[in-house]
Chains A and B, each alone.
Chain A
Amino acid sequence: MYYQTSNNSQFMQDEDLLYTILADLKRTVREYTTATTESSCPTVRQMFTQLTNDTLRMQGDLYNLMKQLNMYSTSSKALRQDVDKSIQDARNLQQKNRQFVQQKTSAMGQYAQASNPYQQQQSSQNPYYM
Chain B
Amino acid sequence: MQSNQMQAITGKELEYIVDSISNEDLLIKQCAATAAATQNPTIQQACQQYIRSLDHHIDLLVQAIQQHQPLAPTSPQQ
How many residues belonging to A are interface residues under a CB distance threshold of 8 Å?
Answer: 37
- Determine the chain B residues whose CB is within 8 A of the CB of A89 once the complex forms: none
Whether the Cβ atoms of B50 and A62 lie closer than 8 Å is yes
Pick from B6, B31, B42, B54: contact of A41, CB under 8 Å: B6
Instruction: Name which residue of chain B comes closest to A35, CB basis.
Output: B16
Q: Secondary structure at chain B's binding surface: helix, strand, loop or mixed?
A: helix
Q: Could you list some 14 contacts between A and B, CB below 8 A?
A: A2-B38, A11-B33, A14-B37, A20-B30, A21-B27, A21-B31, A21-B47, A21-B50, A28-B27, A38-B12, A38-B16, A43-B5, A43-B6, A48-B16
Q: Residues of B with Cβ closer than 8 Å to A?
A: 1-2, 5-10, 12-13, 16-17, 19-20, 23-24, 26-27, 30-31, 33-34, 37-40, 42-43, 46-47, 50, 53-54, 57, 60-61, 64, 67-68
